[in-house]
Each structure stands twice: as C-alpha cells, then as structure tokens.
Amino acid sequence: MTLVKWNNTHNLHRFGNFFDDLYTRDVAKGFSNRVPAVNIKESKEGYEVALSASGFEKEDFKIVVENNTLIISSDKQVENNTVEEKYTLKEFSYTNFSRSFVLPSTVDAEGIQAKYENGILKVHIPKKAEAKEKAARTIDIA
C-alpha cells in the first residue's frame, strides 16, 4: 500500500474569498447577534446600569426582575422592502439579546426605574435605606 500526500491548498482559494466577502457585506451584518456593552456605576443612592443599544426604540426592551435577577432583553425584527420597476428586494434583520445581573440583597427591587435616551438604556437600581452609606462618625475614646 502506498500513501499519497494529498495537497488541496489550490482549492481553498475558491471558497476563501466567498466567505470573506459574505461576512463583510452589509447584507450579512443583519444576521449577527450582538450583546450590547454595559457600564455599571455604584453611588451612595444605588446603582446605574447603562446599556449601549443604538437603533432600538424603548418599546423594543423588556426589563424583568425575577428571583433576585435583573433581566434586560430585546427581540427586534426589521423588514426592509424595496420595490423597483423590475424587481422587489426584501431583507430581514433580526436582533436579539439578553443580559442578566444578580441583584445584591441591599437593593430595593420595587424602586427600579428605566429610561432610554440617545441610544443608551439607563436602569436606576436604588439601595435600601439601611444599605446607604452613612456619614463618617468620629468615636470618642474613653
């Protein structure tokens, strides 16, 4: 039995450019799911979660607190139709994501508020009154 070395590198270029072009075209960008970046800031009053999600409307978001977990999600479908004299082009774009954050026991889940403005979803999570930092107190030494 003779082993023959198989070299198929000459055929790889046939598909390489096709797949590279597919994922750089604007059409393919609608197929990718992305997870929006999140910044979390703590203050004396509570926490602020800022989620970068441009291109959405406030109606596209769903915010739920379940089992001490904050869940921010969206499931958006966009349909673009172009009708010309000799052709019709219909493109679909689906964007969905879900981000979950375990809430500490020091927050007041009933007081959570959200606001969407200029492509940023801001969720304010207040702390319970007993968890807020109190002013420093000097202790006298006896």
The better pLDDT of the pair 83, 118 is held by 118
The SS3 of residue 108 is coil
The better pLDDT of the pair 35, 93 is held by 35
Q: Is the pLDDT of residue 62 over 90?
A: yes
CATH 1.10.599.10 at 33-130, yes or no = no
Cα-trace Rg, the chain: 26
Query: ∠ CA 127-130-133 to the nearest 5 degrees?
Result: 75
Q: State the pLDDT at residue 32.
A: 46
Q: Is the pLDDT of residue 133 over 80?
A: no
Q: Is the pLDDT of residue 126 over 90?
A: yes
Count, residues in the chain: 142
The better pLDDT of the pair 121, 81 is held by 121
The better pLDDT of the pair 37, 16 is held by 37
For the chain, what is the mean pLDDT? 78
Q: State the pLDDT at residue 23.
A: 46
